[in-house]
Every structure is written in structure tokens, then in C-alpha cells.
A = this chain, B = another copy of it.
Amino acid sequence: MSTLFANHAEKLQAAVNACKTRESYSGWPENPSSKLHGDELPAAGKARFDAQLGKPFELEQPAEIGRLGEERSPYTRELLGISYPKVDVPQLFQAIEQAKPAWASAEPETRLGICLEILERCGDQLFENAHATMHTSGQSYVMAFAGSGANALDRGLEALAYAHKAMEDVPASGRWQRQFGRDGVADLHKQYRIMPRGVGVVICCATFPLWNAYPALCASLATGNPVVLKPHPNAVLPVALVVRTAREVLAKAGFDPNLVCLVADERDAPATQALLDEDATSIVDFTGSPRFGGWLENNCPGKLVYTETAGCNSVVLESSNDLDATARAIAQSLCQASAQMCTSVQNVHIPADGVRVGDKRVSYQEVSQAICAAVDDWLTEERRAATLCGTLFDDAVQETVDRYRELAGDRILRDSAPFAIEGFPSARTATPLVIAATEADRDWYRQEVFGPVSFLIRNDDAQHCLADATGNARDCGAITSHVYSTDEAFLEKAVDAYHGAGASVACNLTGMPINFAAAYSDYHVTGLNPAGNACLTDLAFVANRFRIVQTKYMAP
């Protein structure tokens, strides 16, 4: 057994077990508190980030033909001033070609061991990564530490658990004996070998750069494929840190570091097409816009394409025993990470005749007010507001908010406004904009409106709420969907309707961040609606990333 595999076998087994029981598990700490980590580690992480600002990012990769970089902090609005290699893609792929055979020949456990070690080493730089994520993706420190740290690493480990299961399903050898007619017994020794598909290209998004990067990297690399990571131009640093770590681990283990490479680019000179043009690119993992994701799904014949894009996540609010708790749960989703999460709620469907609460019926207006008040409540304390909302990663998000403010006019139920973040007077921030809508406004809400913009949609009745929400999930995609109802029959109908639309659904979630997607437990993205064509992670996410070749030997 490879040493690295042995070192991490227990953690891998815990992940495999959690995938089976679907219970709560995490391999890394989610809380950045000094009470847990002491003062030194957090300070060292910040120092490393600070020291990187204004400097070239050290990454010795082949095919460097210059430097690039245009990251700007949503907190300071200043350029980070970090430069990354500008890469000649065909030349890089020649170098990757050299790295392939030894990696393909390595035992699955050797590759898994190295992937586990990469995750472990990335886990050592969670504080540095948190600052890197804050100042690129705009997340708050706490979110950047947990959501882009432990929660993302867990998803990488989850992918390794599935890769392990899928590869373990292929025995290394077998013996086959049978009689053919009068020719005696044919006695064959057979060997089975896992073969990679080619190069995996991982296209990362701006707001959660590592969320799908870890699972894609791990799924492709563990099954034998070199991986090229292509970060979003405004969120390179978190990805570059992972690439550098991966290269160090690979080299230390005696493999070619070019098995994991970074191809950064700038908005005006994107590198994606050059990566897709390479024949060796056999696998594409994409996180980003539905438009480009859809294009990839339809225009990469012969390549495996896995996408997570976006949809219009909904809440159907039929009835509740505790309207305050429900409003509070919904409001938290409208605030969290300024609704720049793939799991953020956007469309809240409320029956025109109101919501049954206990034995009363509460009007649409009162429910709207409760949700808006709950939003305000989350934002009362300045510090909590900053931690919950973070910043807007890009000017375009603020422009979206502004556009909808203008469109909505007197239909604004709760207006958006900047809020202060201590220590960052220039931070780009916006509290949730909440808009009253009806089905006549379908053009507004039947798409992902990226950022803190939500719609409280007054549908004719609960049936119409459900029909609207599930129709939108089917046609426009959904990653999370929520139903609040105390009526078992309605819940059952709602679950069936969402499932029929290819969407998963959560019922009556309160007292927790409803945006939370749990690795090992939640099958994230169904692949059955336009919000993505794959699940991250299930067996299908990994089983096709490798192939099997065999050898039969006749026993002499």
C-alpha cells in the first residue's frame, strides 16, 4: 500500500462511510476562531496573503510566455497586483503529455494517496486561502474559511471516495477456466488495468472558486488524468494556491508536477477556447453561467462535459407553524454571501390569499413584511451583517441590483443599500433588494438574477405557487428548492412536483442556513434540469473518467 494512501486511509474510509449513511461528516475545521487554532496560525495565513500582494505568484510551470493578472479586491477595490504565468497552451500540453504515462501506470491507491495528501496540504493553508477568497470572490472571512475551505475540501474528499469505489469495482486480475467442446479446459489469467481518458480541464467560477474545483480536480486526477485548472480572471489566487500545493505534493512523491497546471487568463483574452481546442482535452468540468455551460454541453463532441450552472431557486410557502422562523430562514438565504451562492433562494412564491399559520390565514402583505423584517433583523448588527453578506464580487452585481431597482419602482418591498464593513471603507456591498411580483413579471424571475435580488411572487393560490416554481425549475433550472407547509398532502404533492421537474427539495428547513449543501449527504445538483448536467458527486461523476483495458494470458 502506498504510504500516502495508508496515512490518509482512515479519513477516506470515513468519507466512504458518510457517503453510505449520508450522515454529517467533515474532514476539516469550519470555524476560524482563535479559540480553536490559537493566534499564530490565523496571523501567519494573513501574513502570507499580505506578502503575496503586489508580487509575482511563484509557480514554476513550463510554457510561461509572460505574466498576467487583473484581480481586484471587492473589499478595497484595489488591484491585488499579483501576476500569474501567461501560458502557451499547446506548449503546455506537450509538457503534460510527458507526465501522463507514469501517472497512468501508477496504482489507483498511489494516485488516491497523492490526492488525499493534496487535500491535506490545502487544509494547512485554509487561513491564507480565506484571505485570498475574501479579496477575489468577495466572501466574508468566515464564509471564505468554511465554505471555500472545509466545505469545499470535503467535496474533494467526497469525489475521492467515489473514485475509490469506482476503481475498486475493477479487480486487478482474475482467472477464467472453461471447457470448449473436446478441446480441454481453457485456462486464462486476466489482468485489468484502469486507463485515463486524457486531460481534464476545470473551469472555475468567480464567487466560489474551489467549490467545484476540488471535486473535479480529485475526480479526474485520482482516475489517472492530468488536470488543468482555468480560474475566473477575478479569482485566480485561491486556485493558484491549490495548483502550487498539488505540484509540490506530486513532485515530492516522484511524479511530474505538470499533472496539475494553472492556465490563468484575463477577461479580454480568455484561454478557455485554446484549452478546448486541444485534442488531449477529454474532460471538461465547468462551473459558471448557464449560457456558456449550455454551449459546452452541446459543442464538445467526444469530450465528457460536467456542468454546474445556475437556475432560479425557489421557495413555496404554503403554511407554517412558525412564520417568524420560516421568514428568518428565508431571509438568511437572501442575505448570505449577498445571494451569490448557487444555493441562494431567489423566488419566494406566496399564495394570493395568504399563508396558513396555525389556524389563521396571514396575508401576502403580512408575509412579505415578515420576510423583509427578518432580513432587517439579520442586518441589525453591523458585524453580523458583514459576516453574513460579504461583498459583491464584481461591479456587474451592483449593476444588476440597480437595474432591478429601476425596473421594480414602487414594487420594491425592501430596498437595497450599501452597508459598512469595518476596516474596509471601500467595500462593494448591497443589502437584499426584495421585489413584489406576480406571474405577469415572469420575465424578471424566470432566470438567475445573480446577486441580492429576490422576488416575493404572489401566485393565485398554493397550487399556482407550486406550478410556477416547478415549471421554472424544469425550464430554467434549480439547484435548491424549498417548501414550507404543515399539510402532509401538500408536501407530498410538492415533493412529487419538484422531483418531476428534476429538482431536489427541502421541506420546512428552519434554524439553520438553508443554503447549506452538505458533502457526503446532499447529492449536489441533479443533472436533470438546466442548472447543470451532472451531480457532484455520485458514481456517474467519476465512473466515466477512466476506462478499462485488459490482458488475457493462456496458462502454458
Q: Which of B22, B188, B535 contacts A171 (CB 8 A)?
A: B22
B510 and A554 form a contact (CB under 8 A) = yes
Contact status of A176 and B505, CB under 8 A, knowing A538-B548, A540-B544, A550-B522: no
Map CB proximity to B onto A166-199 as digits: 1 under 8 Å, 0 otherwise.
1001110111111010011010101011010100
**This chain: how many copies in the complex?**
2
- Which residues of B lie under 8 Å from residue A405 when comparing CB positions? none
A504 and B549 form a contact (CB under 8 A) = yes
CB distance from A303 to the nearest CB of B (A): 11
Contact status of A538 and B170, CB under 8 A, knowing A184-B511, A543-B544: yes
B177 and A24 form a contact (CB under 8 A) = yes
Residue of B nearest to A22 (CB): B174
A550 and B523 form a contact (CB under 8 A) = yes
Contact status of A512 and B186, CB under 8 A, knowing A24-B177, A24-B178, A176-B518: yes
Q: Which of B195, B301, B302, B521 contacts A526 (CB 8 A)?
A: B195
25 contacts between A and B (CB under 8 A): A23-B176, A24-B176, A169-B539, A178-B518, A180-B513, A180-B516, A184-B511, A186-B509, A186-B512, A190-B521, A297-B301, A297-B302, A298-B302, A301-B301, A495-B551, A504-B549, A504-B551, A505-B550, A505-B552, A506-B552, A507-B553, A508-B556, A509-B552, A523-B548, A540-B547
**7 A-B pairs closest in CB distance:** A22-B174, A186-B512, A298-B301, A540-B543, A24-B178, A540-B544, A506-B552
Given contacts A169-B538, A495-B551, 12 further A-B contacts (CB under 8 A): A20-B171, A22-B171, A22-B192, A180-B513, A186-B512, A195-B526, A297-B302, A302-B533, A508-B553, A522-B552, A526-B548, A538-B548
Q: Which residues of A contact B (CB under 8 A)?
A: 20-24, 165-166, 169-171, 173-178, 180, 183-184, 186, 188, 190, 192-193, 195, 197, 297-299, 301-302, 495, 498-499, 502-513, 516, 518, 521-523, 526-528, 533, 535, 538-540, 543-544, 547-554, 556
